Amino acid sequence: MTLLSAVALGASPVAAEEPSWFQKGRERLTDIWQTGSSDFYVPLRTHHLRSAYSREQIDRYQEAPLGIGYGRSKFDRDGDLQRVFGMVFQDSHFKPNYTVGYAFEKSWRPAADWRLGGGFSAFIMTRPDIGHYAPFPGVLPFGSVSYKNVSIEATYVPGAGGAGNVVFFWGRFRLD
């Protein structure tokens, strides 16, 4: 029955319901996970801004964190990269941190195999010093430089009062 014939017969037309933002988001994440490429992440460096910390603090902090991560990523029709990921890595105090999230990266290709990107990451994280690993949400900016399937990526964690003010670097290896 067409919409016009339904109205002519006195039946109330049933409009196709638009999916909610939650449904659209879930579908996007599911699509990335099911059809995207695998990514492996390796933390490289946690740089504490020298202007925000004393020399004694910096000497005690972990700046070469151990860790590993896995994710799935997919280029959208605009050539931008979207991904879902999980990573575990050492924090500044050598304790494990766990994070899962979604990232969007706007890409620019200055040369055939090179890509520069910038975007944001929305995530859920746990830390031992915040509610003894109680999960909390976060959103941070990040940038990347990529050659073929290898990327160096970084985010800035703002802070005050002896916390944050950190630039975190990691490598991402994309498998096609």
Kindly list the catalytic residues: 48, 91-92
Q: How far is CA 93 from the centre of its chain?
A: 23
Separation of alpha carbons 55 and 164, rounded Å: 16
Placement of tokens 């504490």 in the chain = 48
Q: What dihedral angle (degrees, nearest 10) is formed by the CA atoms of 131, 132, 136, 138?
A: 110
One-letter identity of residue 61? Y
